[in-house]
Chain A
């Protein structure tokens, strides 16, 4: 469904005809999936829509004008950068305007003060290369090097490198955003001038509106510019090697080194992470699922399965790797020192080193997210949570136990308990649990599993990444905070009283459960008969729900 003609003409006047289109072929290009994150699940089928038009602004001022026109003509809109986050980044309503921010690709680097000022279209591949050139580095989040730096940093922003670098929130400096009411908000040092070097607010910090732990999925405005903190790395060049897709960065061995240790038990594996954190060494300390090794080795789906089916529940249960990145930030002697300390720890715990390639295939260079599609065609992380090493090292097993009930349709993984690692030198721990499925099969079980994990986390009193718009707000809201959802709702209503910014997020997963009949049997939490939308959205949601049921 196209947007109204008057609105279209007004928008065209802002960006020019070349950067606005309602051509069905262009709009089809923005369909959620196939081949995307969370691809083929009920949420995607039920909630996503092809945009009514696509617009590509070039500046904050153009974004502001677009938002104001949308307000004037009541056109719902969705900010979009590189679209990794699958269905949740796409319109959920017919006739929405998709605001593609790729042309906001400005970039400037302040070497002396360790930050880069980027636009929403600037991606991690560019960012990391510019950082490395200057002896700095950043974190390429799990979305991969093709992801927008800003989009990633307002919803994610971590990797194994977070052992040293820490929470992404702390790397967000002066930021510019267009609020849903069309006002421009500048935070950090940008609030009082043009210099974006500092992140803290003047008094209370309105970076609080930006993301939460895993983001708002674009329902509270459009970030157009951000100064991002860069961390000092080491001065030697990491040389690109190989031929695509088998590329790597050759590491200067006296300054950067990955080392894998095989530990005798889970207990020693976890203890090693604690001790490395206490000793304050390393640039990354992580344990990854065993099947990621099969992904890394395989060049096609068949080869993956050949490798993976040689494993058994026993081999998975007895796989206790600790993968450590050492960085001589200070000098070569630091790397020698770190390596000796690491060796001491490993000797005490019975860890044995394995031959490790003197190159980086993933994390400094990239995040190997592309490989995640290899096995089944679809995947999603059902949790990616930063807490402490206390939670992180126990969380995955609870997921693995629940997952057995839903395998198939989930990929058989021999009970692998997922990924965990140290963050901020052991002050925090990270765990991630990924699931894989074939989108050509019935995925109702995947939808059920996704939602059941939320209940599991509530019952076991785990913190979880999938709060806010990622799960039903009326399920998680009363159980975290408590009642964080009520505060979020107040903020949404204050800044976006018309709910034009990516409706019906943050209640989209509630809406999904309401619409999808196969989800109803799981809906055992208290939920209002009517969601707190403005009238126009209520009518729209009712119509879309009715249309879905007719279609079914």
Chain B
């Protein structure tokens, strides 16, 4: 039995609740993962309170599910074994935006909507995943390795040094933020590595099972001065991938995405009822979208050399690739697409994946780009078995690191009120995942049902992971029942 009074002593009575309506809100999300209720919700306002709550929970073997975002899509924050929700949304300070060091430091509760707005005021931006919900936590999405749309930076990972509260309640700053007295220090928190071992790796992709990250430093960059958005209709996915293998290692472009007509229509339609079906019917099967940008200095010249390479490659090697600033039949798309790629999905609108049928389930994984056509074929072969039309599958391919890899994402749309449809999508999701795993799809973020499917193939890794987990979380209080814990 959880003592609300004891928690109130730590965070204040106004920051604890066991009201039924509150518990209900945290018991489910927008995924297919079954509901599970917490017994209590606490809203700490600082790292020390997080530490005290975890000490208390650790002493009493009480499960703790950390939550930072206000929207959830993968089931990772649904309590499996009761316990408390540790909601960090009130820890939402942006401590600094440093233009010289090109970094921002902020707490877990800072959302994409808030951060992008504050950065824009200073002429800055950050790399981001495709259309994150404005109410998602930037820290959580980054920690969970949401893949950014920007492929040009060699350094990929945007997180720098951060603070974690271990399940024992110990507050620990890692990387170069580990110095005594940080941030009042010569070290500014630019390096996530160390001290001693790479603690930061243990909490990445951990779905809150290893500790609670309270704030982070993150890379930011100057806004571009000029942009050209290119589109290419794509019939042959393999051909498009070969084109990306050719151009992306030459460091061309900022944001690059490949979307099928269903996903792109769901993103572009302003009035779903009036536009979605028409868009879906007229858009090409796939659309390659590539943004070429001019930066702080000589922006036109930067764009010019990148465009020159693109034109040469298309003329001499990829004659069937027609990359242009207009997608035939869709005038004025460039500026709209640019805004979409550089901003989160507005909080006041239904999330783009849920606008069509009210709910959706995405299946995503890391892959070799050349394998993506096979993965599309696999899912398209399985979907009809569950009565799901192939044309209704949303498909999105995100090149990573000069296209040496990519993230493939399939989205299945359904009506959340239709329990039978929900059950079918759930079965389709599992079956597709099983088939994809068998063909080498790499699920590095195994949520819900995916976890046992993936971990059964990684016995050695699981064994070592459990040993490390036990050192930091001896009583397995952190989000128990998730991953392999």
Which residues of chain A have a CB within 8 Å of any CB of chain B? 112-115, 135, 164-167, 169-170, 179, 183-187, 189, 191-193, 195, 197-198, 200-214, 216, 229, 231-232, 274, 277-280, 329-331, 333-334, 336-337, 340-341, 344-345, 385-391, 394-395, 424-429, 458, 460-463, 467-468, 476, 479-485, 487-488, 490-491, 494-495, 506
Bits for B348-387, please: 1 = Cβ < 8 Å to A, else 0: 0000000000000000001010100000000000000000
Question: Does B110 sit within 8 A of A, measured CB to CB?
Answer: no
Closest to B220 in A: A427
* Complex partner residue of A460 from B186, B302, B405, B470, CB under 8 angstroms: B186
CA distance A494 to B463 in the complex (A): 12
Q: How far is the CB of B241 from chain A (nearest CB, A)?
A: 10
Q: How far is the CB of B160 from chain A (nearest CB, A)?
A: 7
**Known contacts A461-B185, A467-B195, A467-B196: does B297 contact A185 (CB below 8 Å)?**
no
Count residues on chain B whose CB falls below 8 Å from chain A CBs: 98
Q: Are A391 and B187 in contact (CB-based, < 8 A)?
A: yes
Total A-B pairs, Cβ < 8 A: 311
CA distance A114 to B156 in the complex (A): 15
Q: Are A216 and B461 in contact (CB-based, < 8 A)?
A: no
Q: Choose among B100, B178, B194 the residue with the greatest number of A CB atoms under 10 Å from its CB.
A: B194
Closest to B100 in A: A274
Closest to B295 in A: A280
Q: Are B471 and A192 in contact (CB-based, < 8 A)?
A: no
Closest to B180 in A: A479
Q: How far is the CB of B181 from chain A (nearest CB, A)?
A: 5
Q: Lowest 4 CB-CB distances: which A-B pairs, in order?
A: A213-B194, A208-B201, A461-B185, A463-B176
**Known contacts A113-B368, A212-B195, A387-B187: does B249 contact A481 (CB below 8 Å)?**
no
Q: Are A461 and B468 in contact (CB-based, < 8 A)?
A: no
Question: Does B401 sit within 8 A of A, measured CB to CB?
Answer: yes
CA distance A334 to B443 in the complex (A): 37
Question: For residue A210, which residues in chain B have a CB less than 8 angstroms away from its CB?
Answer: 198
**Known contacts A166-B155, A183-B463, A205-B205: does B188 contact A388 (CB below 8 Å)?**
yes
User: Which listed segment binds A: B131-139, B270-278, B412-420, B451-459?
Assistant: B451-459
Q: Choose among B199, B210, B446 the residue with the greatest number of A CB atoms under 10 Å from its CB.
A: B199
CA distance A362 to B303 in the complex (A): 32
Which residues from 161 to 219 on chain B have a C-beta closer than 8 Å to any C-beta of chain A? 170, 172-176, 178-182, 184-191, 193-207, 209-210, 219
User: Which listed segment binds A: B30-38, B305-313, B339-347, B428-436?
Assistant: B305-313
Q: Are B461 and A200 in contact (CB-based, < 8 A)?
A: no
A-B contact sample (8 more), CB < 8 A, given A208-B202, A479-B180, A480-B194:
A184-B460, A206-B464, A212-B198, A277-B102, A280-B221, A463-B178, A463-B179, A484-B172
Q: Are B195 and A113 in contact (CB-based, < 8 A)?
A: no
Question: Does B444 sit within 8 A of A, measured CB to CB?
Answer: yes
**Known contacts A169-B193, A203-B205, A204-B203: does B460 contact A388 (CB below 8 Å)?**
no
CA distance A50 to B373 in the complex (A): 57
Q: How far is the CB of A543 from chain B (nearest CB, A)?
A: 28
Question: For residue A467, which residues in chain B have a CB less than 8 angstroms away from its CB?
Answer: 194-196
Q: Are A179 and B145 in contact (CB-based, < 8 A)?
A: no
Q: Are B201 and A201 in contact (CB-based, < 8 A)?
A: yes
Question: For residue B160, which residues in chain A have a CB less than 8 angstroms away from its CB?
Answer: 427
Bits for B92-123, please: 1 = Cβ < 8 Å to A, else 0: 00000000111100000000000000000000
Question: For residue A331, which residues in chain B have a CB less than 8 angstroms away from its CB?
Answer: 250, 305, 308-309
Q: How far is the CB of B438 from chain A (nearest CB, A)?
A: 10
CA distance A372 to B227 in the complex (A): 47
Q: How far is the CB of B230 from chain A (nearest CB, A)?
A: 15
CA distance A333 to B307 in the complex (A): 11
Closest to B437 in A: A192
Question: For residue B156, which residues in chain A have a CB less than 8 angstroms away from its CB?
Answer: 170
Question: Does B245 sit within 8 A of A, measured CB to CB?
Answer: yes
CA distance A231 to B178 in the complex (A): 30
CA distance A427 to B188 in the complex (A): 11
Question: For residue B209, which residues in chain A have a CB less than 8 angstroms away from its CB?
Answer: 203-204
Question: For residue B186, which residues in chain A have a CB less than 8 angstroms away from its CB?
Answer: 390-391, 394-395, 460-462
Q: Are A202 and B204 in contact (CB-based, < 8 A)?
A: no
A-B pairs with beta carbons under 8 Å apart, 15 shown? A112-B245, A164-B154, A165-B154, A183-B464, A189-B366, A192-B458, A204-B465, A207-B198, A274-B100, A330-B251, A389-B100, A424-B154, A424-B219, A484-B178, A490-B471
Q: Are A208 and B199 in contact (CB-based, < 8 A)?
A: yes
Closest to B200 in A: A208
CA distance A391 to B179 in the complex (A): 12
Question: Does B442 sit within 8 A of A, measured CB to CB?
Answer: yes
CA distance A341 to B194 in the complex (A): 35
Q: Are A191 and B181 in contact (CB-based, < 8 A)?
A: no
Q: Are A200 and B366 in contact (CB-based, < 8 A)?
A: yes
Q: Are B197 and A202 in contact (CB-based, < 8 A)?
A: no
Q: Are B295 and A279 in contact (CB-based, < 8 A)?
A: yes
CA distance A336 to B308 in the complex (A): 13
Question: For residue A458, which residues in chain B have a CB less than 8 angstroms away from its CB?
Answer: 180
CA distance A298 to B228 in the complex (A): 51
Question: For residue B180, which residues in chain A have a CB less than 8 angstroms away from its CB?
Answer: 458, 461, 479-480, 482
Which residues from 440 to 485 on chain B have a C-beta closer than 8 Å to any C-beta of chain A? 440, 442-446, 451, 454-455, 457-458, 460-461, 463-465, 467-472, 483-484
Q: Are B250 and A203 in contact (CB-based, < 8 A)?
A: no
Q: Are B179 and A191 in contact (CB-based, < 8 A)?
A: no
**Known contacts A337-B301, A426-B102: does B471 contact A206 (CB below 8 Å)?**
no
CA distance A240 to B245 in the complex (A): 29
Closest to A506 in B: B196
Question: For residue B221, which residues in chain A have a CB less than 8 angstroms away from its CB?
Answer: 280
Q: Are B296 and A205 in contact (CB-based, < 8 A)?
A: no
**Known contacts A197-B404, A204-B206, A213-B194: does B460 contact A337 (CB below 8 Å)?**
no
Q: Are A183 and B460 in contact (CB-based, < 8 A)?
A: yes
* Complex partner residue of A189 from B103, B297, B442, B469, CB under 8 angstroms: B442
Q: Are A278 and B102 in contact (CB-based, < 8 A)?
A: yes
* Complex partner residue of A334 from B157, B305, B483, CB under 8 angstroms: B305
Question: For residue B457, which residues in chain A have a CB less than 8 angstroms away from its CB?
Answer: 192-193
Q: Are B198 and A203 in contact (CB-based, < 8 A)?
A: no
CA distance A484 to B166 in the complex (A): 12
Closest to A191 in B: B461
Question: For residue B199, which residues in chain A have a CB less than 8 angstroms away from its CB?
Answer: 208, 484, 487
Q: Are A203 and B483 in contact (CB-based, < 8 A)?
A: yes
Q: Are B196 and A390 in contact (CB-based, < 8 A)?
A: no
Q: Are A390 and B101 in contact (CB-based, < 8 A)?
A: yes
Which residues from 264 to 323 on chain B have a C-beta closer than 8 Å to any C-beta of chain A? 295-298, 301-302, 304-306, 308-309
Question: Does B257 sit within 8 A of A, measured CB to CB?
Answer: no
Q: How far is the CB of B416 from chain A (nearest CB, A)?
A: 28
Question: For residue A195, which residues in chain B have a CB less than 8 angstroms away from its CB?
Answer: 368, 440
Question: Does B252 sit within 8 A of A, measured CB to CB?
Answer: yes
Q: Are B201 and A491 in contact (CB-based, < 8 A)?
A: no
CA distance A229 to B401 in the complex (A): 10
CA distance A229 to B157 in the complex (A): 14
* Complex partner residue of B191 from A206, A386, A426, CB under 8 angstroms: A386
Q: Are B250 and A232 in contact (CB-based, < 8 A)?
A: yes
Closest to B443 in A: A202
Q: Are B461 and A206 in contact (CB-based, < 8 A)?
A: yes
**Known contacts A165-B154, A179-B464: does B188 contact A197 (CB below 8 Å)?**
no
Closest to A220 in B: B197
Question: For residue B444, which residues in chain A have a CB less than 8 angstroms away from its CB?
Answer: 198, 200-203
CA distance A479 to B197 in the complex (A): 15
Question: Does B125 sit within 8 A of A, measured CB to CB?
Answer: no
* Complex partner residue of B205 from A135, A185, A204, A426, CB under 8 angstroms: A204
Question: For residue A164, which residues in chain B have a CB less than 8 angstroms away from its CB?
Answer: 154
CA distance A170 to B405 in the complex (A): 14
* Complex partner residue of A201 from B205, B251, B297, CB under 8 angstroms: B205
CA distance A487 to B471 in the complex (A): 8
Question: Does B402 sit within 8 A of A, measured CB to CB?
Answer: yes
Question: Does B222 sit within 8 A of A, measured CB to CB?
Answer: yes
Question: For residue B202, which residues in chain A have a CB less than 8 angstroms away from its CB?
Answer: 204-206, 208
Q: Are A491 and B471 in contact (CB-based, < 8 A)?
A: yes
Q: How far is the CB of B439 from chain A (nearest CB, A)?
A: 10
CA distance A283 to B292 in the complex (A): 20
